[in-house]
């Protein structure tokens, strides 16, 4: 097995190990960044929904307070305003969603699905947690959800949700008296849930990973070529020349031209030693011939 083959086998082994490690950690990093991007989008959607809720309570509801006594106006309900806001987003991004999932909602559209009930149960059993993040499979692909608990902290909320007898008549006329009542102060009745698709960011991550690995393989391939060129000119070629000279000297050709010496590295030092050995051997043979004569 030649020196070049041994060198390339070791180099290929090291390259394969390096590519595997780079691919493993690169894939982890890109997927982590993609998930953080999705989570950041979900957090922005949640903050936007909360901002719309606060605006509805502080700006819209007071303006419509008088009309609300004669007719129920859903635009004064924070959950309705936030849902309508996200509905506009869904016109161009249908896979994005926001819902104020409730176990016993006034509006049946807000009734929690089975997986949303699990989120509410989580908040009820972990009252010190303010957020809950997870992933689930949807018909459109993998989706990340970001949720916050809906907790009754203000007694004013119970005016419409404690007992049907105490609720505004306009509310009863709109939704009936069967649902949305029996809520208690400091009770977690539901969860704000934002869902963001993960497929597109992960597709970008896969594309970036393929580009990264392609560039890395190309760089390693170029390095292997350059190292082989350097190996040929600085190691293999001088060694072959010395091997040929050694073959000639071993056959008795002591007057052959000495090896050219360039540089000050180990190969040059070996060439110096070979030339010195050749001169010493030639002098020894010459002395032996003179003695015999």
The DSSP string of 222-243 is HHHHHHHHHHIIIIIHHHHHHH
For residue 22, pLDDT beyond 70: yes
Give the helix/strand (H/E) hosting 143.
strand 141-151
Task: Give the mean pLDDT of 36-42.
Answer: 91
Residue 268 lies in a domain: no
Whole-prediction pTM value?
A: 0.70
- Residue 226 domain-assigned? no
**Cβ–Cβ under 8 Å, residues 236 and 4:** yes
pLDDT interval class at 3 (50, 70, 90): confident
| Beta bridge pairs of residue 54 | none
**Section 37-56 average pLDDT:** 88
Domain-embedded: residue 256 = no
pLDDT at 152 over 80: yes
Per the model's pLDDT, the better-predicted residue between 84 and 193 turns out to be 193
Provide the greatest CA pair distance for the chain: 139
> How far is it, in rounded angstroms, from Cα 121 to Cα 100?
14
How far apart CA 267 and CA 236 sit, in angstroms, is: 10
Our CA dihedral for 244, 246, 249, 254, rounded to 10 degrees, sits at: 90
Average pLDDT, rounded, for the chain? 83
CA dist 287 to 197, 251, 280, Å? 91, 19, 11
CB 103 within 8 A of CB 119: no
pLDDT of residue 188: 92
Domain total for the chain? Answer: 1
- Please give the pLDDT value at position 84: 83
Mean pLDDT of the 271-276 span: 76
Return the percentage of the chain with pLDDT > 90, whole number: 29
C-alpha distances (whole Å) from 248 to each of 4, 56, 104, 242, 245 are 24, 99, 100, 10, 5
In a domain, residue 286? The reply is no
Determine the pLDDT at residue 290. Answer: 66
pLDDT of residue 32: 92
With pLDDT > 70 as the criterion, what percentage of the chain qualifies?
A: 89
Q: Domain range holding 151?
A: 33-198
Q: Is the pLDDT of residue 97 over 60?
A: yes
Residue 293 lies in a domain: no
User: What H or E segment, with its residue span, contains residue 99?
Assistant: strand 97-102
Contact predicate 276/258, CB 8 Å: no
Q: How far apart are CA 144 and CA 197, in angstroms?
A: 6
Model confidence band, residue 192 (pLDDT cutoffs 50, 70, 90): very high
Whether 161 is in a domain gets the answer yes
Lowest mean pLDDT among 63-72, 76-85, 127-136, 225-234: 63-72
DSSP letter at 264 equals S
Give domain status of residue 290, yes or no: no
Q: What is the pLDDT of residues 155-178, one digit of tens each?
A: 777 777 777 777 777 777 777 778
Confidence of residue 191 (pLDDT cuts 50, 70, 90): very high
Q: Which residue has the higher pLDDT, 1 or 9?
A: 9
In-domain check, residue 119: yes
**Rg for the chain, CA atoms, rounded:** 40
């Amino acid at each position: 097995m030649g020196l070049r083959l041994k060198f390339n086998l070791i180099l290929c082994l090291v390259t394969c190990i390096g590519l595997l490690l780079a691919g493993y950690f690169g894939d982890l990093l890109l997927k982590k960044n993609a998930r953080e991007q999705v989570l950041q989008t979900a957090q922005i959607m949640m903050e936007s929904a909360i901002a719309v809720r606060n605006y509805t309570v502080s700006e819209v509801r007071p303006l419509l307070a008088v009309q609300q006594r004669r007719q129920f106006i859903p635009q004064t309900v924070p959950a309705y305003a936030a849902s309508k806001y996200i509905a506009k987003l869904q016109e161009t991004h249908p896979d994005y969603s926001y819902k104020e999932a409730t176990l016993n909602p006034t509006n049946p559209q807000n009734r929690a699905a089975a997986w949303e009930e699990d989120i509410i149960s989580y908040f009820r059993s972990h009252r010190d947690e303010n957020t809950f993040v997870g992933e689930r499979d949807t018909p459109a692909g993998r989706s990340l959800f970001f949720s916050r608990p809906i907790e009754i902290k203000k007694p004013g909320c119970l005016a419409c949700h404690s007992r049907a007898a105490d609720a505004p008549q306009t509310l009863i006329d709109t939704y009936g008296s069967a649902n949305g009542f029996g809520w208690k102060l400091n009770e977690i009745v539901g969860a704000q849930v934002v869902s963001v698709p993960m497929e597109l960011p992960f597709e970008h991550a896969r594309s970036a990973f393929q580009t990264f690995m392609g560039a890395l393989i190309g760089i390693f391939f170029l390095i292997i070529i350059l190292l082989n060129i350097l190996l040929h000119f600085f190691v293999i070629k001088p060694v072959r020349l010395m091997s040929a000279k050694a073959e000639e000297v071993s056959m008795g050709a002591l007057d052959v031209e000495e090896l050219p010496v360039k540089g000050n590295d180990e190969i040059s030092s070996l060439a110096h030693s070979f030339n010195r050995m050749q001169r010493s051997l030639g002098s020894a043979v010459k002395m032996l011939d003179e003695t015999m004569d």
